[in-house]
């Protein structure tokens, strides 16, 4: 036997031994429990007009959970709250219309916060959006005011001081539309946003207080008709090393905006048009098309992790190569078993890394069975909405070892299912927070709920 062959055989045996060790010690890693029932804790924030919330939820360095409950009414604004997990007490931090200085103006209310919070130098930065719509040609459009009210004035950028608890109004979106998407370079103090329905891009400098209108990003956005229509990207990824901001368009192009530049460049060597993600008509509403749904910048790897909403595929994008890797379909195990697609037409926004920096948490759907038969929804919809009834499952994915886990379905204490769930925050103790619909005293409202740390059961 030659020395070279001997080395090869020894290496093969060593590799096989490692594989066998993993198989023989499955208890060393947690396993999926998709049939488990997770009991959630529901909070009562006291807002009787609360409606569906998208993003608008984050944990902060003080250990508290900050969130906005939205309103779809013309004259009732969204409300800003803070939960102290240690005491369970909820603090009301303000009415969005009042925080924007519009209390007595009789204009369409600041009904939503559609973005997550970003923390820099002791302040939380976020933005506002309208929640009052008119349905025109089957699609949501800015609401037509009534009863002597004026039109919506535009989304505002706001900053909460974590110590003084005072909220400062930083300014209004340059095109007077709502702010749909927001990201922040917390090193350079730059806020980036996309407006709705026009899809214009803007940049705001926290230090100089300068607002820059960078113009249309994607056709006529969701205000367009026919071939001018484009669904707008809902999430930015920001590289805090060089300040580059990444986003996508409905065509599936990955775009980059560098600090100091006013033009967005296309990354020509890679895109979101993957067979696994599906095929879409980019001029039609009812899906996110080839846009990614939710993303974040993973600092240790200098890469972007994200989920494609309609397909439920997790991906990793390295902008330096550039290269896109499709990693895992992180839909629930019951969905995988049936081949069921996401019931929420845009996919789910509840996707975020946890405090350990390597565990991704994701809230997604699963089929519901009644008397042994699966409840089926509508085939299509032209709006961002759930096409049918679904369970809510908590999924985790470990970046370090590629371990996917389905922790089971979430239920309220009285057996209700959380519905229209599109937000997530993870507390310092591993508790998962979100907001969903709940039937309370005969009325459907949206409120905060929490899920116990899914990994405590493995301790």
Cβ atoms 71, 77 nearer than 8 A = yes
Mean pLDDT of 22-51: 85
Mean pLDDT of 210-229: 95
pLDDT at 283 over 70: yes
pLDDT of residue 13: 39
Domain ranges of the chain: 30-54+313-459
Report pLDDT digits (tens) over 387-437: 889 999 999 999 999 999 999 999 999 999 999 999 999 999 999 999 999
- Edge-to-edge strand order for the sheet containing 432-440? 41-42, 443-451, 432-440, 425-426
Report pLDDT digits (tens) over 177-191: 999 999 999 999 999
pLDDT at 213 over 60: yes
Report pLDDT digits (tens) over 355-366: 999 999 999 999
Q: What's the DSSP call for residue 227? A: G
pLDDT of residue 26: 54
Mean pLDDT of 112-124: 98
Q: Measure Cα distances from 167 to 53, 76, 93, 95, 163 in Å.
A: 20, 19, 8, 11, 11
Q: What is the pTM of this model?
A: 0.93
Report pLDDT digits (tens) over 436-451: 999 999 999 999 999 9
pLDDT of residue 95: 98
Q: What is the number of alpha carbons within 13 Å of residue 229 lying toward its C-beta? A: 18
**What rounded mean pLDDT belongs to the chain?**
92
How far is residue 369's CA from residue 359's CA, in Å, rounded to a whole number?
Answer: 30
Cβ atoms 25, 397 nearer than 8 A = no
| Res. 228 pLDDT band, cuts 50 70 90 | very high
The first and second tokens of residue 89, run together, are 């007490």
Report pLDDT digits (tens) over 251-263: 999 999 999 899 9
Neighbours of 129 (CB within 10 A): 30
Give me the count of residues in the chain. 459
Which residue, among 375, 356, 358, has the nearest Cα to 366 in the 3D structure?
Answer: 375
How far is residue 268's CA from residue 233's CA, in Å, rounded to a whole number?
Answer: 18
pLDDT of residue 27: 58
| Res. 149 pLDDT band, cuts 50 70 90 | very high
Question: What kind and span of H or E run contains 296?
Answer: strand 294-298
Q: Measure Cα distances from 191 to 153, 211, 245, 264, 283 in Å.
A: 20, 9, 10, 15, 29
């Amino acid at each position: 036997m030659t020395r070279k062959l001997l080395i090869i055989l020894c290496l093969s045996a060593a590799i096989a031994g490692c594989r066998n060790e993993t198989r023989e010690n499955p208890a060393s890693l947690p396993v999926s429990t998709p049939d488990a029932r997770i009991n959630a804790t529901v909070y009562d924030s006291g807002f009787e007009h609360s409606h569906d919330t998208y993003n608008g939820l984050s944990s902060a360095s003080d250990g508290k959970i900050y969130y906005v409950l939205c309103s779809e009414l013309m004259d009732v604004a969204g409300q800003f709250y803070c939960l102290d997990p240690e005491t369970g007490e909820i603090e009301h931090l303000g009415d969005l219309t009042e925080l924007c200085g519009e209390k007595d103006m009789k204009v369409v209310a600041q009904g939503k916060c559609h973005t997550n919070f970003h923390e820099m130098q002791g302040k939380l930065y976020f933005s506002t959006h309208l929640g009052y719509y008119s349905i025109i040609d089957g699609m949501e459009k800015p609401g037509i005011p009534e009863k002597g009210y004026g039109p919506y004035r535009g989304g505002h950028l706001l900053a909460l001081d974590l110590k003084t608890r005072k909220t400062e109004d930083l300014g209004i979106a340059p095109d007077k539309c709502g702010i749909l998407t927001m990201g922040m370079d917390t090193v350079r103090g730059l806020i980036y946003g996309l407006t709705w329905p026009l899809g214009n891009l803007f940049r705001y400098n926290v230090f100089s207080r300068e607002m820059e209108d960078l113009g249309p990003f994607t056709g006529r956005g969701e205000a367009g008709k026919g071939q001018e229509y484009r669904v707008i990207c809902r999430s930015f990824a920001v590289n805090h090393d060089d300040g580059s901001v990444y986003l996508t368009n409905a065509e599936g192009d990955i775009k980059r905006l560098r600090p100091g530049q006013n033009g967005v460049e296309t990354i020509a060597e890679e895109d979101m048009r993957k067979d696994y993600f599906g095929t879409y008509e980019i001029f039609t509403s009812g899906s996110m098309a080839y846009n990614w749904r939710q993303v974040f910048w993973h600092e240790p790897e200098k890469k972007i992790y994200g989920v494609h909403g309609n397909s439920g595929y997790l991906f990793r994008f390295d902008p330096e190569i550039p290269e896109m890797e499709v990693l895992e379909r992180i839909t629930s195990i019951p969905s995988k078993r049936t081949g069921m697609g996401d019931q929420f037409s845009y996919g789910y926004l509840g996707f975020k890394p946890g405090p350990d920096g390597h565990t991704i948490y994701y809230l997604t759907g699963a089929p519901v069975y009644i008397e042994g038969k699966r409840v089926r929804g509508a085939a299509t919809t032209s709006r961002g909405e759930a096409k049918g009834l679904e369970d809510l499952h908590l999924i985790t994915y470990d970046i370090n070892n590629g371990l996917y886990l389905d922790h089971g379905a979430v239920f309220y204490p009285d057996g209700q299912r959380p519905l229209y769930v599109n937000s997530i925050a993870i507390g310092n103790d591993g508790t998962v927070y979100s907001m969903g619909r709940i039937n309370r005293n005969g009325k459907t409202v949206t409120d905060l709920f929490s899920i116990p740390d899914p990994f405590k059961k493995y301790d």
